[in-house]
Structures are given as structure tokens and as C-alpha cells.
Amino acid sequence: MADILIYHKPTCSTCRQVIKLVEQSGQPYTTINYYEKTFSKSTLKGLLKKAGIKSSEIIRKKEEIYKKLNLQNSEFTDDELLDILIKHPDLIQRPLVQKGDQVILARPPETVTKIL
């Protein structure tokens, strides 16, 4: 059985709820604070591919930086969006949870039970 990886932001309440649900399951897991250990482009691209999510679908549209970068009115390639997400991690929906080849965006937190 593969360990669970939780890519999170420690101050995020949704992330904390997901971690609590994984703890309660008794399965081994590791948390990765992607603000301290930033995503490489290949890692983020691979996670999104496994989750079946396009980079444009994981953007947090209510963040100030979203408006500042005018992301709502611009046509960016997937590659360009990945670069922006890595440079501005506040734009990434969270948490991303990986177990083996499965990756999900655990929003709402209860969706993490799909891979437990």
C-alpha cells in the first residue's frame, strides 16, 4: 500500500481537515508544505495529469494576485499557467492528495475518502 502525500498550506483550514481525516484513517502519510518545498514544474504537471485537472481548473480565482495578473482576461498556455502557479503558490487550489498513481483535489475535505 502506497503512503499518502498531502500537498498543503499549513494555515489552510481545508488542508487541516483533510490531514485530520487521513490521520483518523490510520494510513501512513506525509505532508508537504509547498510554500517551503516549492513544486517543480514537472511535479505539478504530473500531479495535475494524474488528477485529470487542467492547470486553469486549479486556479484560486478569489486571490488578489489573480486579479493583479489579469488572469481572468488573458489567454495563457498550460505551460505558462504552470509557471505562474509555481511562482505564486497562493493561486493553487488545495490540498492535493496523492496515493500511488491517484491524485485528487480534496475540496471539500470529505473527498479525500475516495482514496483512503
According to DSSP, residue 77 is labeled -
Reported as half-sphere exposure (CB side, CA atoms, 13 A), residue 48 has a value of: 22
Cell numbers linked to 85: 502557479
- What are the two backbone dihedrals, phi and then psi, of residue 15, each rounded to the nearest 5 degrees? -60, -45
Catalytic residue among 12, 78, 80, 90: 12
Among this protein's residues, is 12 annotated catalytic?
A: yes
Strand 96-99 and strand 102-105: the pairing is: antiparallel
Known catalytic residues are: 12
